[in-house]
Copies of this chain bind each other. A is one copy, B any other.
Amino acid sequence: MSEIEAFVGELRRFVAERDWAQFHDPKNLAMLLASEAGELLAEYRWVPGAEADARSREPAPRVRIADEIGDVGIALLLLCDRTGIDLLQAMSDKLAKNRARYPVEAARGKAERPDG
């Protein structure tokens, strides 16, 4: 059993002990994920891009950032577990699509475009 699978087991126990599965339909979990992503975003909103790496290493912000990353990761795993979507498979499939969508020669040094 992988480390992620073991952690998902812990999440299931946490949810079951609190009888929270009733709140965890995929719609609500997608909302949880997006609101946690918004809190993570808030950590960087006034930080210049060029200072964002350094900010991520300062002790107090780092604790908060790790905390929000933990929230986002938990929400994502809860959603994967509820829907039966395998996270690693979904990421691998998407990376394969991105390789095809952004060929190395054409994409080198160019930011992805929202209208790409």
Using CB atoms and an 8 Å cutoff, list the residues of chain A in contact with chain B. 2-4, 7, 10-11, 14, 17-20, 22-23, 25-28, 30-50, 52-53, 55-57, 60, 62, 64-67, 69-74, 76-77, 79-80, 82-83, 85, 87-95, 97-99, 102, 104, 107-109, 111-115
Contacts and interface: CB of A to CB of B under 8 A. Distances in A.
Contacts of A39: 35, 38, 114
| This chain's copy number in the assembly | 4
30 contacts: A3-B4, A7-B92, A17-B104, A18-B102, A18-B109, A23-B111, A25-B53, A26-B56, A26-B65, A27-B52, A28-B46, A30-B44, A33-B72, A34-B40, A35-B38, A35-B42, A35-B45, A38-B41, A46-B112, A48-B49, A60-B115, A62-B85, A64-B114, A66-B90, A69-B76, A70-B94, A73-B87, A74-B95, A76-B76, A77-B91
